[in-house]
Amino acid sequence: MTVLSAARGRGHADTAARRRTWITRPGTYLVILFVLAITLVPMLYLILSGFRTTGQLGSNPNGLPHPWVWSNYASILESAVFWQAVLNSAIIAVVATALAMVLGSMAAFALSRYTFRGRDGLFLCLRPGCCSRSIPPPCRCS
């Protein structure tokens, strides 16, 4: 009981320290601002650039688009090719994830829970195999 109450006492004492607080030190604040700027501003610029024509990109790449061009986004959303591409990506993502999950966990279970001859060798073969996708498919032309 004494242990419990001591723990509770300690927990009570540092809730103040553990509570999420605003950052107070200016240095930390600056670092965070810098990181946010360098991460988000390029992506913001990319989004904004979608509202320019190619001509506008060439003549005035900086600043806000003038005038705002909506046709780029509109034509992408209306394009059948784009939606076909979205579907293709979605199929690859779903099938690859499902296969990797199911087959990967099967192999992992066998390798970790069973003992059999050649297990360590097999494990060694599989591991670098998945870490280095070094050899691309030999022929992309067919």
Partner 1 sequence: MARAESTQDRGAARLAAGPEIISGPAAAGAPPKQRSARRKRIELAILLGPPLILFIGFVFVPMIFAIWYSLYNWNGYGPLSDFIGLQNYQGVVTGSVFHQALLHNIIIAVLSVVIQLPISIGLALLLNRRMRGQTALRLAVFTPYVLSQATTAVMWSMLLSHGGPVDSLLKSVGLAALIHFWLASTSLVLYTLFFVVTWQFIGFGIVLLLAGLQGIPPELREAAAIDGASSWQITRRIMLPLLGPTIRIWIFLAVIGSLQLFDIVWIMTLGGPANASQTMLTYLYFNGAERTQFGYGATVSVVLFIISFVFALAYQRYALRRDTAGALTRAVG
| Interacting residues of 107 by C-beta distance below 8 A, sequence separation 6+ | 126
Provide, rounded to whole angstroms, the least separation between the CB of residue 114 and partner 1.
6
Q: Which residues of 56-73 are buried (b: 16+ CB within 10 A; e: fewer)?
A: beeeeeeeeeeeeeeeee
Q: What is the DSSP letter of 81?
A: H
Contact residues for partner 1, defined by CB under 8 A: 14, 18-23, 28, 31-32, 35-36, 38-40, 42-43, 45-46, 49, 57, 61-62, 99, 103-104, 106-107, 109-117, 119-120, 122-123, 126-129, 131-141
Closest distance between partner 1 and the C-beta of residue 129, in Å? 5
- Minimal distance, residue 82 CB to partner 1, in Å: 14
